[in-house]
Structures are given as structure tokens and as C-alpha cells.
Amino acid sequence: MKNLRFLTVLSMFLLVGTVAIGQNGKAETKMVGGAEMYPTKNIVENAVNSKDHTTLVAAVKAAELVDILKSDGPFTVFAPTNTAFEALSAGTVETLLKAENQKKLQAVLTYHVLAGDYKAADIVAAIKKGNGKATFTTVNGANLSAMLDGDMVKLKDAAGNVATVSIADVNQSNGVIHVIDTVLLPSK
């Protein structure tokens, strides 16, 4: 039942999204990992071009989440960079990528996904409404906390790890991505 709920929510996340429109009336792109992220492409189509997200793309493939991330949404993805994965304890990524650890890898990856389209302004508004802290339930089912450090959005996981959003509002055809500098880990 939990896996079905995850797949349903993740499917919704990937197919429906929003497009940023600039003053000239055209969809705006952002540069991530040396590549333009086109708001007319889905999360997978864009992510495979980012040199900063090759580990995340490999993990999504190993977890068999590619088709889900190509499907409807809207969803919000907090996308850790390669450097974020490299900061994990030695051997963690390699262990998670093994076939026998697929469920654990899925749990980690879905902890980086929210059902719904949460732009940076939405997250900041929730933080302000919560007097400095907002709690979001991830697709994984576990909670993730958000707070501000000056004008930077920070995310705190169940283990106390804190990630900073380094690039916000990277619009996709099926959601929005916020690039983060730390891998978030669920308690379960």
C-alpha cells in the first residue's frame, strides 16, 4: 500500500508542472550543472544533462524511478548534487546502488520529493507562517523541516542533517526542482 501511494504521488509529481514566464512572455531556462534546464522538458529529460547530478540520475535509474519521474505531477524535488552524495560516509552510495538495497534507495530518494508544486516563495511563506519553521511531509511519508538562514532556505532531515537550497525554482514540465548541497536521510 505504501509503495502504491508513493508511486501514485510520484507519478503525479512528474507529469504536471509549471513554466516560469519571463517579462518577454517566453519560458525561462536556468543553468544547472552546465546545462540549460528547459521548463518544457520533464525532470528526467533535464536531469540527465546536468553534470552536477550524475549520481542522482544513476540512483534514480537503480531505484527504477525513471518512468515515475517522467510522469505527471506536480511534485517538488530537492535534488542533491554529486558533491552532496560524495559527502556521505565512504561506501554509502555504492551500497545503496546495489539491487538488494533498492527499497532503501527508493526511501532515500522519495524523501527528497514533495507532492505538489512548491516554489521558493511558497516554502518561504510557509516558514514565515510557522514562525520560522515549516514541516513538509515527503512522498516517503516522513517529515522534512524548512527554515531560513538569512535569505537562504535550509532543509533539516530526521537525522539533523541540514541542506541549503543553492538553486531554486528550476521549473520542469512536471514540477519544480530545487538544487541542494546535502543528501537528506529519512529515519526509516
Cβ distance 177 to 170 under 8 Å?
yes
Q: Is the Cα torsion angle 21, 176, 41, 84 positive or negative in sign?
A: positive
Query: What's the pLDDT score for residue 182?
Result: 96
State the first-to-last Cα distance of the chain, in angstroms, to the nearest integer. Answer: 16
CB atoms inside a 10 Å sphere around CB 102? 15
Alpha carbons 142 and 140: distance in angstroms, whole number: 6
Q: Which has more pLDDT, 175 or 128? A: 128
H or E element at residue 12: helix 2-15
Alpha carbons 177 and 188: distance in angstroms, whole number: 24
Span 46-54, mean pLDDT? 85
Question: What are the grid coordinates assigned to 175, written together?
Answer: 514540477
Indicate the pLDDT class of residue 25, thresholds 50, 70 and 90: very low
Q: Is the pLDDT of residue 176 over 80?
A: yes
Q: Which has more pLDDT, 36 or 88? A: 88
Average pLDDT, the chain: 83
pLDDT in tens, 120-133: 999 999 999 999 99
Span 141-149, mean pLDDT? 96
Q: Partners of 78 in the beta sheet?
A: 178
Output the pTM of the full model.
0.83
Q: Is the pLDDT of residue 66 over 60?
A: yes
Q: Is the Cα torsion angle 32, 38, 42, 48 positive or negative in sign?
A: negative
CATH match of 2-20+27-119+167-179 with 2.30.180.10 = yes
